Structure 1
Amino acid sequence: MPRETIISTDSCSGTAGAGRSGWGRRRQPGRDAISNPSQTRASPRRQSLSMSRYLVACDAGGTMTDVIIVDEEGRSVIGKAPTSPQDESIGYMESFWEALEFMGISKDEGQNFGASVETAIYTGTSMLNTVINMSGYKTGIIVTRGFEDIISQGRGSQTFIGAQWSEITHMQYRRHRTPLVPSQLARGVTERIDMFGTPVIPMYEKEVREGARSLIADEKVEAIAIIFLQSFVNPVHENRAAEICREVMEELGQEVVLEVSNKVAPTTREISRANATVIQAYASDPARKQLYRIEEELAKTGYAHSLKTVLGYGGITNIRYPRLFEAAMSGPVGGLMGAKYLSSVIGEENIVCS
């Protein structure tokens, strides 16, 4: 029977702990307080001469934030601090400074450490938690008339998760999840493009203008997502609707986040495209502001590059990537990537990653 190895990648669990790999062991309060620091710490001067470039990675969970610093020889340290949802840069930098402390570098000595960092990568559950906790922007949608309930209806399978067959077959048990965009924040527009990309019903621009004005001025939305049928084949109607929305913003003197589905997720299946566009409008801007704050704090230490993040399919990109919703699962995916690599190192094919 094949063996299985269980690996925990959750930064909240604390199973990985914080400390050093290659730089010695972590100091224990009390017991190590009287030990000679020179026995467990390498000289910062000696480190700076022998290892000039570093990688800084982060795993930010809902409870704890871990920052991992790796040198050119593969030696690493891990700092851990409570996550600060109101400003993630606080928890990030506290963890960063603790990691440097495990390297034998004080906060004063590490003020310019960022100049030696080759790249900094963020993974975490910030955007995912925004969606789960429904704490993102108040978002409205402008959609093809007749599809105003596309978000509130969703897919039938989404309402049956965890239900037994006896419950599924009795509609009175069915309960829809709370939508990110309630139906009262949806505005329908008369327009239609067929499956070949040919406009068969012209877009009624007056309806777009009225819908945008209603959402911005009356409903006080913070973001608008535009989702028209077949826009992935021909985006002409969506793009024109976006222009009208910007004109309305200028007239009202108010600016909101504006996303169009043909740029966020130019793929078939309107529900998938709608979900992606709404998440981009609802949660990506708050998450991006958090990432900018982290990048700003790193820049104060001399870090001269852009902060990177991990996408849901394992790629790494700049935090200015326009389709940032793809990084919503960066934390869990980062753990899977690490477990996959570890499996190749230890020669274990069967791994349960949690």
Structure 2
Amino acid sequence: MTEHENEHERDTAESDGTGDRSSWRFFHATGAAPTGEPPALPPPPPWREFTGEPVQPAAPDDERAVHRRLGTHGSGPNLRDEDIDTVNAALLLRRPLLVTGPPGVGKSTLAYLIARELGLGRVLPWSIVSRTTLRDGLYEYDSIGRAQAIAAWRAGADPSPEAAADPAAPSPERAPSLGDFVTLGPLGTALLAYRRPRVLLIDELDKSDIDLPNDLLHVLENGSYDIPELVRSALPTADVFTDDPGGRAEIVGGRVACREFPVVVITSNGEREFPAAFRRRCLPLEMRAPSREQLISIVVSHLRRRPEGVDTLVDDFERRLRNGGTQSVDQLLNAVHLTTAGSFQADADGRKLIEMLLRDLAKGR
């Protein structure tokens, strides 16, 4: 068969659906970090292209947070082939993932799995409570601190040696900078202009006030927002704090705009429905409970060994799930670690303690 015929056969197989349908994937849910250069992401669709400026330095890493979530071997949530396809579609289309499922199945862990495998640096976690507002995720402005700093500056510099050694301390030569009192939140930091996207975890959005999902629509659609305090100041640029430890970023004209739309993982325990306009902008992914092999892999990854007796505990954990219980993988890890620590005795008192650790979370005790 000639090379031309081979190419024609491959094209035919792809067009009729008999070829390798997974060849378009660039995220494979392996949990392994890149060995060399991180994989290049495919270009976005034209309607999801952004041109934010100025370009920020690459995102910092946070291996300790990744290890806490994934363990040393990168064991992540139990994803089916269709789940992996959904993640890749969200990454390709630059759309948020709306991840649902029972507590403890690894919904928030998925963000760390994506960040590690694609080499996207530190995950920006935003935990939602009933009082959370959109501005909490975008930025914080310390107006009281700025007023106090201006008053101190007008009164003159502090003559103490400590103040002299502090470059941020008020002095006659340096008025307090407006940017020193602005701190970008997780969402605000994710929307800075990075060459590679940041990973933003919006955790438990269903716990929010009813207005927050609607408030997110404009930001998620446009990939930008204004900081009114900086806009009103008419400063051409401002150097502000970010959500990264010790991070700073230059803001031009009071406007933050992304260059690469962030990888947004939104988790929900299904406590309420979201508006149709919000769901239209997200790709849904419903996660299932880990398989037995996945549970053992998670234990080995976190404890760096396969403890004796782990199979019995995993079987007990699976039985509780099959009986309709609400359990979290964290409970299994705690039980395994406890029973393999020191001279723990699995007597009547020990068994009672294990029962407490593996209790049904839906029963409220």
* TM-score, scaled to structure 1: 0.21
Q: Which has the higher contact order (CA 8 A, sep 6+)?
A: 2
* TM-score, scaled to structure 2: 0.21
The structure where strand makes up a greater share of residues is: 1
